[in-house]
Structure 1
Amino acid sequence: MKKKFKNLTFKDALFNIANYTVFFLFTLACIFPFYYIFINTISNNDAVQKGMINFIPVGINIRNYLALTSVNDLGVSFVVTVARTVLGTGLMVLASAFIGYLVTKEEMRNRKFWYRFLIITMYFNAGIMPVFLNLSMLGLTDNFMGYIIPSIIAPYNIILVKTYIESIPRELEESALIDGAGYFMVFRKIIWPLSKPILATIAIFGAVNHWNSFIDSLVYMQNAPKLYTLQHRLYVYLNEASNLKDIISSSPNAAAMALNSKVLKYTVTMVTLIPIFIVYPFMQRYFEKGIMLGAVKG
């Protein structure tokens, strides 16, 4: 490491300093909004209301989070969001892996046509109203499966998986076929285990997409409040913070709290962010490897 730095010229050193400084400031700019919201949720509510919390929390407490347990709709929306994230992501990963494997097979009938047809759907779609009418005719509006079925096929993720699978030595598959294994056995025993990095990568994409989903809940679940996602519920709360304040204030668990709309907005926002922050570090080690290897070929 010392030799590496000794060989740097003045211009190189200056470039590195500028480079690290810019990236540090950029990272700080990305992190600070979340930090700002968090310290406002654990600070004294009166101080938050007066705008006194900028960098350091004051009067640390978790009463705001405890108060949200009295809001029944929030718990239901949390369960709906977790359920759609787990089920939707799982089915999407399975479908992406299997379809991505199939389109690598030259013996697949009309392979190029189906692959190009899949890619076209990334750029052209009918629009939100035709999709709504289609889902309505299929009985998927005001239905939990309306979250799951349309999201199973993800063309971009399939392309990533296909590209990754093409980087796996074909000799492994050929040796298994010679030993009598079928395509499904090859997929289950060889392709699936070796594709874990890219599958973890698309799982992150899918989980974040499902967790942050808002439009489909807003448009397709208009008559089913019990199926609102957490982001949709947050939208409702942010627009009706005074009503949420009344709900919490009437709860015996929050009788002594000095509540205000600003604190409630911050707290509900943070509740929607925390789970994805917890999950991401466990998947991050696969993310970089998967996305790089999956993007090597065109």
Structure 2
Amino acid sequence: MNTFNTTGYRTFSFFNYLFLFMLMIISVYPFYYIFIYSVSIPTEAARGGVYFWPKGFTLTSYAQLLKVDGISSAFLVSGARAVIGTILTLFGTSLFAYVLKHPKLKFRKLMYRMTLATMYVSGGLIPMYITVKELGLKDNFLVYILPSMIVAFYLVLVKTYMEQLPDSLEESAMIDGAGIYMIYWKIIIPLIGPVLAVIAIFSAVNQWNSWQDNFFYVTDPKLQTLQLVLLSYLTDQTSNMMAISNNLQTNLSIKEITPVSIRMTITMMATLPVIFVYPLFQRYFISGIMVGAVKG
């Protein structure tokens, strides 16, 4: 008897698909709601009733947001730090993991454990600020990318993934005359693609969303990140919205903007790049995170 044609199996499949469909709706709807609210007429949306369709349609909030001083340069800074920072993180973490996995390296266990300790122990903000200042990284673009070149959590994933590769691959390459860097670049890197994709997602999202390092270490307006610019604008708009609405000389398009519509628009602008990038790496995500976390 074919178990796939039984009533019990069909009933299970129906409820299973129904549950997964409901889970998908629960996961997707918050982003959809933010989008339809951001394109709704702010004064109409403020009255409520925005559930499945926008109330009217306007891009006033987006247009007003794009007029914020420095937002174009901030977008470029955040994009540059996301791309460059992710590449350097992949390179630094994978190279360090490759070195640490070789038993001939002296004190490799000590270095590995000291790196892991940074996951649980931090020097604090003041020592970090002093270190950044003494290294000349204050008001420097490198402060966004150098501190994250080696991340302990990523190191665990990559090192564990590498240790599951057969040693015969490296041995045969050495016999053919390949050096350690040639082996790393030509053999190891192509084989650890799934776990590198996972790290790329984590690192890119973290770099894109970061604003604390900008807030503490950077005062140059030309180096401001998008997240801090949006946060500053949201704070200013929320605190000044009442004064703006009472000012009869204020432009009508500005008067119609509400704090909630600004928050929704900012959330949408900050989230869209991540939503577009994630599907490109999604097929590697599950296999990479699972294989890399089998053992520590």
TM-score, with length taken from structure 2: 0.87
Partner of residue 30 from structure 2, selected from 27, 33, 48:
33
The partner residue of 2:233 within 214, 228, 237 is: 237
Identity across aligned pairs (percent)? Answer: 40
**How far apart in 2 are the matches of 1:231 and 1:33?**
20
Deviates further, 182-191 or 137-146:
137-146
Alignment check: 8 A CA contact 1:241 1:265 kept: no
- Tell me, yes or no, if structure 1 residue 58 matches structure 2 residue 84: no
- The worse-fitting range, judged by mean Cα deviation, of 197-206 and 118-127 is 118-127
Distance in 1, matches of 2:220 and 2:20, equals: 45
User: 3-state SS of the aligned residue for 2:118?
Assistant: helix
Q: Which residue of 1 aligns with 2:265?
A: 267
> Whole-Å Cα distance in 2 between the matches of residues 215 and 290 of structure 1?
29
Unaligned runs of 5+ in 1: 248-253
Amino acid at match of 2:263: K
Query: Shift of the alpha carbon at 1:72?
Result: 3.1
Give the CA deviation at 1:149: 1.1
In the TM superposition, residue 238 of structure 1 has moved relative to its aligned partner by 1.7
Q: Report if the CA contact (8 A) 1:237-1:265 is conserved.
A: no
Return the alpha-carbon distance in structure 1 between the equivalents of residues 197 and 276 of structure 2.
15
Partner of residue 247, structure 2: none
- The alpha-carbon distance between structure 1 residues 23 and 124, as it changes in their structure 2 partners (threshold 3 A), is farther
Cα-Cα RMSD: 2.7
Q: Could you tell which deviates more after superposition, 162-171 or 175-184?
A: 162-171
Q: What is the Cα deviation at residue 297 of structure 1?
A: 2.9
Instruction: Name the CA distance, whole Å, in 2 between partners of 1:142 and 1:275.
Output: 26
Query: 1:45/1:197 Cα in 2 relative to 1: closer, same or farther (>3 Å)?
Result: same
The DSSP-based 3-state class of the residue aligned with 1:72 is coil
Deviations 1:271-295 (A, max 9, x none): 1111111111111111112112212
Report matched runs for 1:198-209 at 5 Å. 198-209=195-206
How far apart are residue 244 of structure 1 and its match? 8.6
Aligned-pair distance for 1:122? Answer: 1.3
Paired amino acid for 2:290: M
More off after superposition, 126-135 vs 224-233:
224-233
Q: What's 2:221 paired with?
A: 225
Kept in 2, the 8 Å contact 1:217–1:232? The answer is: yes
TM-score by length of 1: 0.86
Aligned residues: 288
Q: How does 1:155-194 map to 2 (within 5 A)?
A: 155-194=152-191
Distance in 1, Cα, partners of 2:237 & 2:48: 18
Farther-moved stretch of structure 1 (190-199 vs 231-240): 231-240
Which residue number corresponds to residue 250 of structure 1? none
Local SS of the residue matching 2:55: coil
TM-superposed deviation, 1:242: 5.5
